[in-house]
Amino acid sequence: MRNLAIIPARSGSKRLKDKNIMMLNGNPLLAYTIGAAKASGMFAEIMVSTDSNKYAEIAEQWGASVPFFRNENLSNDIASSWDVLKDVLQMYKEIGKEFDTVTLLQPTSPLRTADDIISGYELMIEKSANSVVAVCEMDHTPLWSNTLPEDNSMVDFINEDIIKTPRQGLPNYYRINGALYIIKTDYFLSANNIYEEKSYALIMRKEHSIDIDNIMDFVVAEAIMKHILNENEVIKYEISNH
């Protein structure tokens, strides 16, 4: 299979200015995703979709390609990642390049490893999947959650059956972590969404599933990278050999 990795990295982040290139444990955030993609050995091409010359220079320094810049109408807050992917695939097609699969790798998931990517492709082959989407187990069950009325009353906040159920008796819930989406290109371009027929979940470890959206996420990711992941983790070395 010819596999394409697309790393979307626009420059207009509002919560954290230039978060995609913020220095995390000594390297730009974007570098960790490029490093994991390279170390996986799964891709014919690893490209960064950006609207910034500065981001493009950093991407190329770390081994990704930037064959074209993102269209202006896809560089704002309302543009979806899926629109970006479709636009990239169309631009590649116009220069005579087509791919069997497209993989979305968000740069805000710096603890996703090469092994996570490899496991995703192994699952795709094993299941003959149209798409593989990374998830992780939720820290807290949503069954203990609800909306609140204006007076913040707790009446009927939790279903009575749930109140009586021991924590250990509650089912495990999972959330999409945003770290990895692998999709057959033909399926992606024809389906209404990627969660339809033959879509499967890849369960990732929680510590690999940090998605950096604000400064607290950034601090947590740096703490995990420095103090929790052991020396055998690929994150430790795949970034240092770019």
226 occurs within a structural domain: yes
**Domain annotation covers residue 154:** no
158 located within any domain: no
What is the model's pLDDT at position 90? 93
Question: Which residue is associated with the tokens 């704002």?
Answer: 76
When divided into structural domains, the chain yields a total of: 1
Q: How far apart are CA 87 and CA 136, in angstroms?
A: 29
Answer whether residue 24 is part of any domain: yes
Predicted confidence at residue 233, as pLDDT, reads 52
pTM of the model: 0.89
**Cα separation of the two ends of the chain:** 24
Domain of residue 125, residue span: 3-138+174-238
Q: What is the pLDDT of residue 166?
A: 83
Mean pLDDT, all residues of the chain: 89
Q: How confident is the model at residue 231 (pLDDT cuts 50, 70, 90)?
A: very low
- Local confidence band at 225 (pLDDT 50, 70, 90 cut-offs): confident
207 or 80, which is more confident?
Answer: 207
pLDDT at 232 over 50: no
Q: Do the domain assignments include residue 15?
A: yes
Q: Which pLDDT belongs to residue 216?
A: 93
At 164, the pLDDT band (50, 70, 90 cuts) reads confident
Does residue 161 belong to any structural domain of this protein? no
The CATH code of the domain that includes 72 is 3.90.550.10
Q: Which residues contact 177 (CB under 8 A, 6 or more apart)?
A: 109, 134, 135, 136, 204, 209, 211
Percent of the chain at pLDDT above 70? 89
pLDDT at 241 exceeding the cut of 60: no
Q: What is the length of the chain?
A: 242
Q: With respect to residue 197, please indicate whether it lies within any of the assigned structural domains.
A: yes
Residue 230 pLDDT level (bands cut at 50, 70, 90)? low
Alpha carbon distance 84, 68 (integer Å) = 12
In a domain, 230, yes or no: yes
At 64-120, the pLDDT tens digits run 999 999 887 666 666 688 888 999 999 999 999 999 999 999 999 999 999 999 999
Question: What pLDDT, on the 0 to 100 scale, is given for residue 163?
Answer: 85
Specify whether the CB–CB gap between 177 and 204 falls below 8 A.
Answer: yes
As a whole number, mean pLDDT of residues 31-38 equals: 96
